[in-house]
Amino acid sequence: MLCSRWCLVTSCRLYSVVHDPNEKTFEKLLIANRGEIACRVIKTCKKMGIKTVAIYSDVDASAVHVKMADEAVCVGPAPTSKSYLNMDAIMEVIKKTRAQAVHPGYGFLSENKEFARCLASEGVTFIGPDTHAIQAMGDKIESKLLAKNAKVNTIPGFDGVVKDADEAVRIAREIGYPVMIKASAGGGGKGMRIAWDDEETREGFRFSSQEAASSFGDDRLLIEKFIDNPRHIEIQVLADKHGNALWLNERECSIQRRNQKVVEEAPSTFLDPETRRAMGEQAVALAKAVKYSSAGTVEFLVDSRKNFYFLEMNTRLQVEHPVTECITGLDLVQEMIRVAKGYPLRHKQADIPINGWAVECRVYAEDPYKSFGLPSIGKLSQYQEPLHLPSVRVDSGIQQGSDISIYYDPMISKLITYGSNRAEALKRMEEALDNYVIRGVTHNISLLREVIIHPRFVQGDISTKFLPEVYPDGFKGHKLTDLERRELLATAASLYVAEQLRSQRFLGTPRIPVAKSQRSSWELSVLLEDGVYPVAVSKNGLSFSVEVDGMKLNVTSEWNLASPLLSVTIDGTQRTVQRLSRNASGNTSIQFLGTMYKLQILTKVAAELSKYMPEKAAEDTSSVLRSPMPGTVVAVSVKPGDTVSEGQEICVIEAMKMQNSMPAAKTGKVKAVHCKVGDTVGEGDLLVELE
């Protein structure tokens, strides 16, 4: 029996690499990718004694994967079409370095049959399936037909290529709304739109085809029935070149925004053994039907009655593969390399366990308060992964000082926690998110933490519509209870006093030895979320007694103000908080329960005087359109003098290959246009003014 070895592995990597040194594979392998997945492949190659070659664009010259590899070669400038999708440049590197094999990771060229053909023609091994399987499963139209023939449950829809917007509307009407419009060669949520009427179908066709062309170089689209309120559950398969194929259990991937996964777990709370087996057997049947050989994923939509429908097959390693590794003990990258070399699988279906529970959160450089996550760019001024905690794995490709740019996916890392059961895995995830230090870019930790502690998620009551259903007005951060509000106020006040006391000391000695003894009590006024709260603080050793709302709380900590993490105990409850910023005006921001809160802490006298300070008038945002994210202007639909209606598209911004329509906030006449197609804009940049 295969045994999960997570407990024997250090907390940074919850998977096992049991390598037989007598089993020869490759001497040198090139990774045709970047970021965390390139680093992930390199780690396994090192364990297997395989030398690695990294490729990089000029903006990635100092990237972690470049430093980890034995060799690294630049393949072009930042745009993906000129670097990571530049097959000619990559083939030259392969010849130059004499790499015997290529691992494509995910995205980029991982499902590109022409790339696999080029490698085969040069005698270089592609770590993945053969070109027939890539073509058959990579094309959503062909894969659906093959799935039907393999007796796999499929979603009703149009099995051909949609020619134009008019045909899209006709097909959508025949199928019946709502429909899903998606790129035939796509994946990762790009080139996908849900349409509920004719107008949305036309708009969806336009955006999906543009995104598909930008991301995959293929603008073909298909349309199928949209299964409302489903779960997204996928089966990991592993097959060799000798006709053997296994299913490695399922992954629950229903928490999504813009059709991109945010939180994944294995196994699923929803599946019973019979449904799991049926899904697994259909996934294996499909793999065998196309003579699949490598790791792959068959994705299904599952309705409330546990009816499941084939969605697509990804002929590559999935982003969320770590949760499968955690519960099975298999290293999927190692298995892919073994299969590519021609070795048979080492395990039988009966050997595949479900040991414990694993949860993965995708940590993105995104602002979760804007459409559940619009991209953020910047330099990581401070970065600390929570690897000091037990059973925590972080797959990342960045470090302190790394840049998050507009050119690539905004993922910072994949944070994975493991437990003997789901409750333990979720508790560890909560702690890991609280202990994750990310400064310099906006991130989505607040959203991730709220998801995993939400009663519906904890109960397993989820679907792909979880986020819009739970947050119909958008994500607003953690809503403090009265007790949590008092805890935050007490913590902030204690931090303020600790800072004041530290500033009075120099090398452990009062600056003026003849001065009176230090104060032991303070009367403060704290502003939090439109409320002003009187707070009284008294010091007792390392503890502070804080009175808020007539209630006294005891706050204890080591008060190491230089540390990015501060462990605070409030009346016996331990909290990990982060003080993100502060200034001389008493303004401070604190990350508490995952969410950043802005507070102003003043002495009683300063608070009385502050009411005389003039307030800056807020900008009338209805008359201006500012970019909500950094990106590139790909379309401008108006010119000065045009009359626009509320909700009318003014321009389109592309960020990380996702296109976002910018609408007018009110009806009016265009006064000025401050951007043109091709411009690179930053968050908050002025795009258009209305009169």
Q: Which residue has the higher pLDDT, 489 or 405?
A: 489
Predicted confidence at residue 224, as pLDDT, reads 87
Phi first, then psi: give them for residue 627, nearest 5 degrees. -70, 125
Predicted confidence at residue 513, as pLDDT, reads 56
Predicted confidence at residue 188, as pLDDT, reads 60
Q: Over range 181-198, report the average pLDDT.
A: 80
CA 244 to the chain's CA centroid? 33
Active-site residue, from 200, 211, 250, 312: 312
Q: Taking a C-beta distance cutoff of 8 angstroms, is the pair 222, 139 a contact? A: no
- The pLDDT tens digits for 88-133 are 999 999 999 999 999 999 999 999 999 999 999 999 999 999 999 9
Predicted confidence at residue 507, as pLDDT, reads 56
Predicted confidence at residue 52, as pLDDT, reads 98
**312 catalytic, yes or no?**
yes
Of these ranges, 406-410, 473-477, 612-616, 659-663, the one predicted with the greatest mean pLDDT is 473-477
- The pLDDT tens digits for 627-676 are 988 889 999 999 999 999 998 999 999 877 678 889 998 999 999 999 99
pLDDT confidence of 189, banded at 50, 70, 90? low
Q: Taking a C-beta distance cutoff of 8 angstroms, is the pair 603, 536 a contact? A: no
- Compute the distance between CA of residue 342 and CA of residue 194 in angstroms, rounded to an integer: 42
Predicted confidence at residue 510, as pLDDT, reads 55
pLDDT confidence of 474, banded at 50, 70, 90? very high
- The pLDDT tens digits for 33-44 are 999 999 999 999
Burial 573-595 (b: 16+ CB within 10 A, else e): eebbbbbbebeeebebbbbbbbb
Predicted confidence at residue 515, as pLDDT, reads 52
**Alpha-carbon Rg of the chain, whole angstroms?**
27
**Residue 465 CB partners (closer than 8 Å, separation 6+):** 228, 229
Over 50: is that where the pLDDT of 296 sits? yes
Q: Over range 268-275, report the average pLDDT.
A: 97
- The pLDDT tens digits for 487-499 are 999 999 999 999 9
**Residue 564 CB partners (closer than 8 Å, separation 6+):** 382, 384, 437, 439, 578
Predicted confidence at residue 199, as pLDDT, reads 93
- For the purposes of burial, counting CB atoms within 10 Å of the CB of 554, is it exposed (0-12), middle (13-18) or buried (19 or more)? middle
Quote the tokens at residue 660: 């976002």
- Compute the distance between CA of residue 361 and CA of residue 319 in angstroms, rounded to an integer: 11
CA distances to 14, 87, 428 from 5, in Å: 8, 38, 18
The candidate with the shortest Cα–Cα distance to 24, out of 42, 7, 49, 43, is 49
Predicted confidence at residue 10, as pLDDT, reads 34
- The pLDDT tens digits for 576-610 are 999 999 998 899 999 999 999 999 999 998 888 88
Over 50: is that where the pLDDT of 549 sits? yes
- The pLDDT tens digits for 332-344 are 999 999 999 999 9
pLDDT confidence of 459, banded at 50, 70, 90? very high
Predicted confidence at residue 142, as pLDDT, reads 83
Residue with tokens 């043109």: 676
User: What torsion, rounded to 10 degrees, do the Cα atoms 299, 304, 306, 308 define?
Assistant: -30
Burial 679-691 (b: 16+ CB within 10 A, else e): bebebebebbebe
Q: pLDDT averaged over the chain?
A: 91
pLDDT confidence of 375, banded at 50, 70, 90? confident
Q: What is the 3-state secondary structure (H, E, C) of 236-296?
A: EEEECCCCCEEEEEEEEEEEEECCEEEEEEECCCCCCHHHHHHHHHHHHHHHHHCCCCEEE
Q: Taking a C-beta distance cutoff of 8 angstroms, is the pair 323, 359 a contact? A: yes
Amino acid identity of residue 208, one-letter, is S
pLDDT confidence of 389, banded at 50, 70, 90? very high
Question: Quick one: residue 632, left, alpha or beta (phi over 0 = left, psi -120 to 50 = alpha)?
Answer: beta
Predicted confidence at residue 613, as pLDDT, reads 82
- Compute the distance between CA of residue 60 and CA of residue 74 in angstroms, rounded to an integer: 9
Q: Over range 294-316, report the average pLDDT.
A: 93
Q: What is the 3-state secondary structure (H, E, C) of 454-503?
A: CHHHHHCCCCCCHHHHHCCCCCCCCCCCHHHHHHHHHHHHHHHHHHHHHH
